[in-house]
Homo-oligomer: A and B are copies of this chain.
Amino acid sequence: MKTISRKQEIITVASSLFNEKGYKAVSMRDIAKAMDIKAASLYNHIKSKQEILSEIILKVAEEFTNGMENVVNENTSAINKVEKVIELHIDITVNHSEALAALNNDWMHLEGDDLKAFIKMREDYEENFRIIIKQGIDAGEIKPYHPEVILFSILSTLRTLYVWYQKRGKLDVNILKKDMVSVLIKGII
């Protein structure tokens, strides 16, 4: 089906523009111009501007949710799970760096059920991470700092990674994983 691929094209172009200036600062005419068509033509492929935003955000949000689900259900040490979460973030960052801008900065412009779904996913994700860290502390694998501070510190770094990845032109994924795991883990064990 051609329509689906054209829709995907719109979403990709929109992601890139949202990444630069944010959802509210990008008009349908901006998106159209970037594709060399007129704004009205976009509506042959998508229902609304909102739909573009929620497709961008919820798709990656689900990747995070599924990835975290897998990590949680693995039968390994807490430290190993943290390592897996770091790698999950890096994989998603490398594959969807522009979508992450919308996810991080424009999620509040989601509406209705999409907004609710996103917030729930985000809360669940943080809670799972929190549990992993607490288990690590209880097991003596992780230093007994305040878990909230550890969670915040690691998650901030991972969530902002997309900015740096875009700036410092496309580093090698495996080197990135090794370095990030070192810096983020060695501080807490």
Please determine whether A108 and B186 come into contact, CB atoms closer than 8 angstroms. no
Chain A residues 2 to 61 lying within 8 A of chain B, measured CB to CB, are: 20-22, 24-25
Interface size class of A (residues with CB under 8 A): 20 to 34
Of the listed stretches A72-80, A113-121, A154-162, name the one at the interface; the rest are far from the partner chain: A154-162
In whole angstroms, what is the CA distance A21 to B107 when docked? Answer: 10
Q: How many copies does the complex hold?
A: 2
The interface residues of chain A, by DSSP majority, are classed as: helix
In whole angstroms, what is the CA distance A159 to B164 when docked? Answer: 13
The interface residues of chain B lying within 8 Å CB-to-CB of A182 are 145, 149
Q: Given contacts A105-B105, A187-B186, is CB(A153)–CB(B157) below 8 Å?
A: yes
Chain A residues 81 to 117 lying within 8 A of chain B, measured CB to CB, are: 105-106, 108-109
- Mark contacts of A167-189 with chain B using CB atoms, 8 A cut-off: 1 yes-contact digit, 0 otherwise: 01000000000011011101110
- The chain A residues found within 8 Å of chain B, CB to CB, are 20-22, 24-25, 105-106, 108-109, 143, 145-146, 148-150, 152-153, 156-157, 159-161, 164, 168, 179-180, 182-184, 186-188
Cβ-closest 6 pairs across A and B: A187-B187, A24-B24, A156-B160, A24-B25, A156-B157, A149-B179
